Amino acid sequence: MPRITAAEGQAETLVLRWDSGAESRFPWFWLRDHGQDPDSLDPATLQRRVDTFALDEAIRGEDCTILEDGHALAVVWPGAAEPQSRYSADFLATMAGLLPEAIAAQPGRQPRLWSAAGGLPDLETVPYGEVGEGKPGLRRCLEQLQRDGFVVIEGAPTDEASARALFNHFGYIRETIFGGLWSLSAEMTEHDDTAYSTQYLEPHTDSTYSHDAPGLQCFLCQEFDGKGGESILVDGFALAEEMRREQPENFQVLCEVSVPGRYIEPGVHLRTERPAIRLDGARRLQQVSFNNYDRAPFLLEPARMKAFYRAYKDFHARIVERGNWLTIPLRPGMALVFDNWRLLHGRLGYTGKRVFCGCYHNHEDFESALRTVA
Ligand SMILES: [Fe+2]
């Protein structure tokens, strides 16, 4: 862990030197705003107690002391009534970019992107009996979800109550227009959607019409008596990264053009829009959204429209390339959980009877589970 070896107060900043030889600068105002002592920060909830907006813009520390052999720092602020602020060296090093951020879901662990080019992952199923409170299976599921974007659980009971209990381990089940735990079969007629049919379903992400598309999607195969119907998974992050390398102009267009999605049935009209590829502030992939069935009309000026169609077609060609597909024949008792912000899913056409139930979770709850369970 980094140790502070020297601290030097300057007009605008405090300069810290680290045992690695690195140097970091912290504005005085920022330091006053980020004290970790109980007067500045609630120790249990980590909610801020400092009144940021009452602070003097020109505040400057009067004195500072390196504590605990370089593992902590204290700053004394001017005025007798002003408290002293304390900081751990780990916190300051993290903020300075010298340590991975603990707020990242599973800091230090990178997703393992997969495609035809880089190789597809093996199917490492997790036995149902291991997925429960305090058992190692849930941690394995979350690790595989973070690494590959999906996990398959085998040997699960096929009744709805057991399915609900299983899926509740990943976060609370989200209520949508399809219900909490929904059923899916070609015999159902409540929702007039392509998913409720026997035909081939092209890989897509769900809920391109939702402002906050579900983060995890869960399926449990309850009955299957027929042929075909394999689930298709595609790693949208891997394909987006390939496009970023091979066709950067197309990648950029898909990061910029907002694509509307819609869902319409009697009494329901959902609609939102976002780019097919969403990045964070550091231009890392955050979410892919692709569902040509649910795309709503939009019109750009002709050159931009043409560029969009070219880029969208490029992405689509990568998505429907069979070599990029992982196909999983889900049979009764098999559950599939996957990251709907990263993976696209589809299904081969089938004959016979196929009954599934499933549900959604919010992405933030999945990320919370990654931070707290795994
Ligand atoms: Fe879907």
The domain spans of the chain are 4-95, 106-374
- pLDDT tens digits for range 40-89: 999 999 999 999 999 999 999 999 999 999 999 999 998 756 569 999 99
Give the pLDDT confidence score for residue 1 in this predicted structure.
86
Phi, psi at 324, each rounded to 5°: -90, 0
Give the pLDDT confidence score for residue 374 in this predicted structure.
59
Ligand 1 center from residue 203 Cα (angstroms): 8
The tokens for 129 are 């009996």
Give the pLDDT confidence score for residue 315 in this predicted structure.
98
Ligand 1 center from residue 309 Cα (angstroms): 23
Q: Looking at the predicted structure, is the pLDDT value of residue 103 above 80?
A: no
Q: What is the average pLDDT across 104-127?
A: 85
Nearest to 285 by CA among 341, 324, 234: 341
Ligand 1 center from residue 346 Cα (angstroms): 7
On whether the CB atoms of residues 143 and 373 are closer than 8 A, the answer is no
Ligand 1 center from residue 236 Cα (angstroms): 14
Give the pLDDT confidence score for residue 80 in this predicted structure.
57
Give the pLDDT confidence score for residue 99 in this predicted structure.
81
Ligand 1 center from residue 345 Cα (angstroms): 6
- pLDDT tens digits for range 210-250: 999 999 999 999 999 999 999 999 999 999 999 999 999 99
On whether the CB atoms of residues 261 and 208 are closer than 8 A, the answer is yes
Please return the burial class of 290, using the count of CB atoms within 10 Å of its CB with bins 0-12, 13-18 and 19+. buried
Query: Whole-angstrom Cα distance, residue 311 to residue 260?
Result: 16
Ligand 1 center from residue 363 Cα (angstroms): 16
Give the CA angle between residues 165, 170, 174 to the nearest 5°. 80
Ligand 1 center from residue 183 Cα (angstroms): 13
The tokens for 121 are 């992952």
Q: Looking at the predicted structure, is the pLDDT value of residue 155 above 60?
A: yes
Ligand 1 center from residue 340 Cα (angstroms): 9
Band of pLDDT at residue 198, cut at 50, 70 and 90: confident
Ligand 1 center from residue 194 Cα (angstroms): 9
Q: Looking at the predicted structure, is the pLDDT value of residue 102 above 80?
A: no
Q: What is the average pLDDT across 87-108?
A: 79
Q: Domain 106-374 belongs to what topology?
A: Double-stranded beta-helix (3.60.130)
Give the number of other CB atoms < 10 A from CB of residue 312. 19
Sheet holding 84-88, edge to edge: 63-67, 72-76, 84-88
Q: What is the average pLDDT across 348-352?
A: 92
Can you give the length of the chain in residues? Answer: 374
- pLDDT tens digits for range 245-272: 999 999 999 999 999 999 999 999 999 9
- Cross-strand partners of 88: 72
In sign, the C-alpha dihedral spanning 36, 38, 40, 45 is positive
Query: Whole-angstrom Cα distance, residue 75 to residue 117?
Result: 53
CATH, range 4-95 = 3.30.2020.30
Which residues touch 204 (CB under 8 Å, ≥6 apart)? 290, 291, 292, 293, 294, 344, 345, 346
On whether the CB atoms of residues 278 and 205 are closer than 8 A, the answer is no
On whether the CB atoms of residues 372 and 186 are closer than 8 A, the answer is no
Give the pLDDT confidence score for residue 74 in this predicted structure.
95
- pLDDT tens digits for range 32-50: 999 999 999 999 999 999 9
Ligand 1 center from residue 23 Cα (angstroms): 50
Ligand 1 center from residue 6 Cα (angstroms): 56
Q: What is the average pLDDT across 93-112?
A: 75
Q: What is the average pLDDT across 18-30?
A: 97
Give the pLDDT confidence score for residue 190 in this predicted structure.
63
- pLDDT tens digits for range 331-348: 999 999 999 999 999 999
Q: Looking at the predicted structure, is the pLDDT value of residue 205 above 60?
A: yes
Ligand 1 center from residue 87 Cα (angstroms): 47
Q: Looking at the predicted structure, is the pLDDT value of residue 106 above 70?
A: no
Average pLDDT, whole number, for the chain?
A: 92
Query: Whole-angstrom Cα distance, residue 289 to residue 260?
Result: 10
Give the CA angle between residues 246, 251, 254 to the nearest 5°. 155
